[in-house]
Amino acid sequence: MKLGRRQVTLGLMSLPFASPRQALAQTAAAQSGLLPPEAVLSQWYRLVLELVRHTATYSPPVASRAFAYLGITAYEVAASSPATGLRSLAGQLHGLTPPPACDPALSYAMPAMLHGAMAAAVMAFFGNTGPTGQRAMAAMDRILGEQVAKDTDPATLARSRDQGAAVAQHMLDWSLGDGGATVVNMGFPYDYPPPQSAADWVPTSLIAVQQTPLLPDWGRNRPFAMPAGQPACGLTLTIPYSAEPESAFYQQAAEVVAIKAALTDEQKLIARFWSDDPMLSPTPPGHWISIAMAILDRDAADLATWADVLARLGITIADAFIACWQTKYDVNLLRPVTYIRQVMGETKWEPLLNTPPFPEFPSGHSSQSGAAAAVLTAIWGEGFAFDDATHADDGLPVRHFPSFAAAAEEAALSRLYGGIHFREGVEAGLAQGRCVGAYTVALQTRV
Amino acid sequence: MRLIVLALCLLPHSLQAQTPAPAIPRFADESATAGLTGFYAGEWQYMVGGGVAVFDCNADGFEDMLIAGGENPAMFYRNVSQQGGPLQFRQETAGLEADAVTGAYPLDIDADGLTDLALLRVGENRLMRGLGNCRFAPANADWGFDGGDDWSTAFAATWEKGASWPTLAFGSYIDRTQEAFPWGSCTPNQLYRGGDGRFAAPLALTPGHCALSMLFTDWNRSGQPALRVSNDREYYKGGQEQLWQLDPGAAPVLMTEADGWKRLRLWGMGIASHDVTGDGYPDYYLTSMADNKLQTLESTTAPVRPGYADTAFARGVTAHRPYTGGDLRPSTGWHAQFGDVNNDGLFDLFVAKGNVANMPDFALLDPNNLLLQQADGTFQEVGEAAGVDSMAIARGGQLADFNMDGLLDIVVVNRWQTAQLWRNISEDAGGFAAFRLQQPGPNRDAIGAWVSVRRGDTVTRHEVTVGGGHVSGQLGWVHFGLGTSTAAEVRVEWPGGRVDDWQPLLADTFQILAPGQAPVAFIAP
């Protein structure tokens, strides 16, 4: 493979962290023919964060899956250039075979390859989004397409886009067999067995479609980096269900009540900051992608770093949701609101946050945050401080964290403050996430 | 001249009927024969909207209509139905044939007794002055109205205490110039106040959260309506449903959690209001996607705070999924309206349904809902049995008695498909009473009044409003079913605080109510 001219311009330009509209305008206005490939990634990912928020099927597990495949797609395109020093993940991830290779006799333009790949992949994963999302994807394709075409001969441009699209198609074909490709009724089965014991999960929502739990089979999906075919990073309850007031379980619930009753403004803010509700945010997976993108932007990271971070972060979050969902439906534990109302007799008790419509143990946000922190710490190190402005557009303040681990711990605690998890659920979730993250960290990404 | 005072023997549902059992209404689809050809056209900028305004512009008692056309011109239809007969409309040029109309609301802005119209548009909104006999003329310049350049998708009007001129609220959607990142670009809603025959410059109701329905409503029965706004969470960031308090002469104030307002975020598309619970306070049905709400006050203990409980699930009005047609995907609700379609004395609920635009995760075959209220306060879906289970892509609509037979008919505006009109042909419905309120002064139609009908120990209350629904409004008869009651009374709580005494109503009759006066049967001029 010959290097196109823009393949050696990595890192020449990096956009400051800005709102998506501002960033796109800067991209369009500031280019003088040189569009860095990481800018292509950045813009598509900014749109993906919006599409996750605005596509009805994108619950957190579904979002995690999309982030994994999108990240791997971008990574494999980047890895096709020896200049990046990236090592293909083919053979390292379950079921991933080598993607179509570039013709070594021909030249390719990396921005166009990435654009071709992302356009194809994003439009496939979000093909079910609404008319505004469709319009936005078309606009992004057109605007970035014009940018990557500058100063590139038509033959190279077309070849590069086609090559990117071919890699994307390879990933899409691979994705179809993982068990998560089809989401029906927004993830809520039409039928579900009733609870068998007092400890079992029961619906907590007044929304009719949420009378069955979300994606009960998600834990059977093919994982990416963690072991397949056996429960990986599984958990068991150490505090068994009991309705006895003296029991540890009862005391856990009492702690949830006590915390709710004494919530400080800071704790309320923390709960809402990490609430990451589907349809109202980029979801918990998108929150961590947003964190990573802000750092990549801030530090003007090169393409290899962008691709490595987005791929491994996507992989580990997706694996965390698979592991977490496996445990959730093995244990099938009721939510605090159910126990507090039915067992403790506080019939009008309400949590600060909306209780998610699926079993409690462990906390999904905690699990995926633990995994994300493990991977990002492996990439950027312990004590890596950063600012998190994910929800600035929603009017929530920027939060500063001294490390990824600190952020993950706060995310986990937020579910306790929010009244939607017991303490064991959040602490075990974090541990599960760290376990999952270790498998991702073990991937070989550099030649 | 058509005589409108009805003799009992002419009515299929007279008070002489003693049928006690709940009756499933029957509707005949007269879309093909009634003369309506209009539909709501257009692509992205018209994915929402598609309203209909229903009003009587020639004072014959029969309600005419204007259908929003989107990219097509709006279409006016004169009602030429005969009393009790098939529905018949004739398209005419009325001066309302603007393009880019998303919806319309009738009201008498200048209190001249002639219905005016607010046209909501993608672009400049227009106020149209009624000239009589269903002719209208642009009035923006004469009334000092700055129509702006927004994508308007909601409207409400009220007469604030002491005001000589109405207060109008226009709700708007997203900044349509944003292409790749339109989310978070909701434009501010606008509040217009005025006096001396003109509107002042609008006040921006900031923040705007992409309103798809607004309603001035006296939620706490204080006598001072507040502005309820239902917003589309698809596009706002940091947004939620809103309630603006309006003190006369003061800037609107957004109610917060400190006031008792409970944060709610949904794909808000339409508001219907009625005192469903019978507690004297309005309840609100909010349409959304698979997540419709019926909000009732959590507590009516003074001081009443705006905390609402969702009772949709308990009352059986979630309407979250098609009930027929085999498509099990979640539903998309738009216009909603309470009305007693079987005249049993209980207000029922109609919800217009339709996919946004081929969204594959939501039902494409999404029938309208007709939910009959039952004696225990729950609702029963009868859309299929009643014959209104259309699978067309519905948006706006209205319940109105178009042929003045004492039965509510239904009109629905569809996206890309011809509007539909159903005549209520129920034979076992109860009796009815229909009222128009008239009072001297600027608020001629007594917008904001509460009309109550008492049958024995049962009191049914309804607030007279301009706004709500999905870009669809009505200025016409306020319809009550009387069931099998042989005697009933009516009382009006007029805007401004005057409360008339209970007085016998004229059953099975269209009648005019004025302050301090007995009901007068309506006779066409």
A175, A201, A236: which is the final residue of a domain?
A175
For B147-176, what is each residue's pLDDT tens digit? 999 999 999 999 999 999 999 999 999 999
In a domain, A212, yes or no: yes
Residue with tokens 């494409």: B364
pLDDT of residue B260: 96
A290 and A424 together in one domain: yes
Where does the pLDDT of residue A21 fall: very low under 50, low under 70, confident under 90, or very high at 90 and above? low
A205 and A317 together in one domain: yes
Report how far residue A170's alpha carbon sits from residue A179's, in angstroms, rounded to the nearest whole number.
Answer: 17
pLDDT > 70? residue B11: no
Interface residues of chain B, partner chain A, Cβ below 8 Å: 43-44, 47, 174, 178-185, 233-235, 237-238, 265, 289-291, 310, 312-313, 318, 320-321, 328-330, 356-357, 359-362
- In chain A, residues with a C-beta closer than 8 Å to the C-beta of B323 are none
In a domain, A163, yes or no: yes
pLDDT > 50? residue B18: no
Distances (CA, A) of A383 to A79, A405, A432: 29, 8, 21
Where does the pLDDT of residue A8 fall: very low under 50, low under 70, confident under 90, or very high at 90 and above? very low
For A186-213, what is each residue's pLDDT tens digit? 999 999 999 999 999 999 998 889 999 9
B101 bridge partner residues:
B70, B121
Report how far residue B111's alpha carbon sits from residue B281's, in angstroms, rounded to the nearest whole number.
Answer: 28
Contact A279 B185 (CB under 8 A): no
pLDDT of residue A23: 57
Contact B180 A47 (CB under 8 A): yes
pLDDT of residue A231: 75
Residue among B44, B176, B179 with most chain A CBs within 10 A, to mutate? B179
pLDDT of residue B486: 81
Cα–Cα nearest to B301, from B283, B286, B280, B276:
B280
Give CA B276 to chain center in angstroms.
16
pLDDT of residue A19: 57
For B347-406, what is each residue's pLDDT tens digit? 999 999 999 988 999 999 999 999 999 999 999 999 999 999 999 999 999 999 999 999
pLDDT > 50? residue A17: no
Question: CA-nearest residue of chain A to B357?
Answer: A131
Report how far residue B233's alpha carbon sits from residue B238's, in angstroms, rounded to the nearest whole number.
Answer: 9
In a domain, A447, yes or no: no
A131 and A212 together in one domain: no
Interface residues of chain A, partner chain B, Cβ below 8 Å: 19-21, 24, 46-47, 50, 53-54, 56-57, 127-128, 130-132, 135-136, 139-140, 143, 183, 185-186, 190, 206-209, 279-280, 393-396
Mean per-residue pLDDT, B246-273: 96
Report how far residue A339's alpha carbon sits from residue A425's, in angstroms, rounded to the nearest whole number.
Answer: 14
Cα–Cα nearest to B248, from B164, B125, B151:
B164
A167 and A200 together in one domain: no
How far is B181 from chain A, CA to nearest CA, in Å?
A: 6
In a domain, A182, yes or no: no
Residue range of the domain that includes A290: 190-441
A63 and A133 together in one domain: yes
How far is A418 from chain B, CA to nearest CA, in Å?
A: 15
Report how far residue B308's alpha carbon sits from residue B283's, in angstroms, rounded to the nearest whole number.
Answer: 9
- In chain A, residues with a C-beta closer than 8 Å to the C-beta of B320 are 207-209
A133, A148, A175: which is the final residue of a domain?
A175
Report how far residue A157's alpha carbon sits from residue A297's, in angstroms, rounded to the nearest whole number.
Answer: 26
For A120-179, what is each residue's pLDDT tens digit? 999 999 999 999 999 999 999 999 999 999 989 999 999 999 999 999 999 999 999 999
Question: CA-nearest residue of chain A to B178?
Answer: A21
A175, A204, A231: which is the final residue of a domain?
A175
For A270-321, what is each residue's pLDDT tens digit? 999 999 999 999 999 999 999 999 999 999 999 999 999 999 999 999 999 9
Distances (CA, A) of A133 to A148, A428, B234, B359: 22, 37, 10, 11
Which DSSP symbol is given to B72?
S
Contact B181 A132 (CB under 8 A): no
Longest CA pairwise span in chain B (Å): 63
Contact B310 A206 (CB under 8 A): yes
A160 and A260 together in one domain: no
Q: Which CATH number characterizes residue A80's domain? A: 1.10.606.20
Indicate the average pLDDT of chain B.
94
Which DSSP symbol is given to B186?
B
pLDDT > 70? residue A24: no
CB within 8 Å of A303: residues ≥ 6 apart: A10, A11, A36, A37, A38, A41, A78, A84, A110
B339 contacts B480 by C-beta, under 8 angstroms: no
pLDDT > 80? residue A28: no
What percent of chain B stands above pLDDT 70?
Answer: 95
Contact A21 B238 (CB under 8 A): no
Report how far residue A232's alpha carbon sits from residue A319's, in angstroms, rounded to the nearest whole number.
Answer: 9
Contact A185 B313 (CB under 8 A): no
Contact B312 A132 (CB under 8 A): no
Report how far residue A185's alpha carbon sits from residue A201's, in angstroms, rounded to the nearest whole number.
Answer: 20
Total residues found in chain B within this entry = 525
CB within 8 Å of B438: residues ≥ 6 apart: B444, B445, B446, B512, B513, B514
B65 contacts B77 by C-beta, under 8 angstroms: yes
pLDDT > 60? residue B141: yes
Cα(first)–Cα(last) distance of chain B, in Å? Answer: 7
pLDDT > 80? residue A403: yes
CB within 8 Å of A136: residues ≥ 6 apart: A47, A50, A51, B179, B180, B181, B182
Size of interface A-B (CB pairs under 8 A): 92
DSSP string of B204-259, one letter each residue: EESSP--EEEEEEE-TTSSSS-EEEEEEBTTT-SS---EEEE--TTS--EE--GGG
A207 and A58 together in one domain: no
A277 and A383 together in one domain: yes
pLDDT > 50? residue A36: yes
For A94-124, what is each residue's pLDDT tens digit? 999 999 999 999 999 999 999 999 999 999 9
Contact A19 B356 (CB under 8 A): no
pLDDT of residue A268: 97
pLDDT of residue A172: 98
Report how far residue A197's alpha carbon sits from residue A200's, in angstroms, rounded to the nearest whole number.
Answer: 5
Count of structural domains within chain A: 2
B255 contacts B306 by C-beta, under 8 angstroms: yes
Report how far residue A19's alpha carbon sits from residue B144's, in angstroms, rounded to the nearest whole number.
Answer: 37
pLDDT of residue A20: 56
pLDDT of residue A151: 86
Distances (CA, A) of B357 to A48, B267, B364, B392, B418: 21, 15, 9, 12, 16
Question: CA-nearest residue of chain B to A279?
Answer: B234
How far is A244 from chain B, CA to nearest CA, in Å?
A: 31
In a domain, A180, yes or no: no
Cα–Cα nearest to A255, from A415, A64, A28, A43:
A415
Give me the residue from A47, A128, A143 closest to B361, CB to CB. Answer: A128
In a domain, A181, yes or no: no
For A223-246, what is each residue's pLDDT tens digit? 999 999 777 899 999 999 999 999
A53 contacts A280 by C-beta, under 8 angstroms: yes
Mean per-residue pLDDT, B71-93: 98
B121 bridge partner residues:
B101
A417 and A378 together in one domain: yes
A168 and A194 together in one domain: no
Q: Which amino acid is at A83?
A: A
A293 and A388 together in one domain: yes
Contact A393 B313 (CB under 8 A): no
The interface predicted TM-score (ipTM) is 0.89
A362 and A389 together in one domain: yes
In a domain, A446, yes or no: no
Indicate the average pLDDT of chain A.
93
Write down the H helix ranges in A176-264: 248-261
Contact A279 B233 (CB under 8 A): yes
Mean per-residue pLDDT, B423-448: 97
How far is A235 from chain B, CA to nearest CA, in Å?
A: 33
pLDDT > 50? residue A322: yes
pLDDT of residue B523: 83
Tokens encoding A192:
């579900």
What percent of chain A stands above pLDDT 90?
Answer: 90
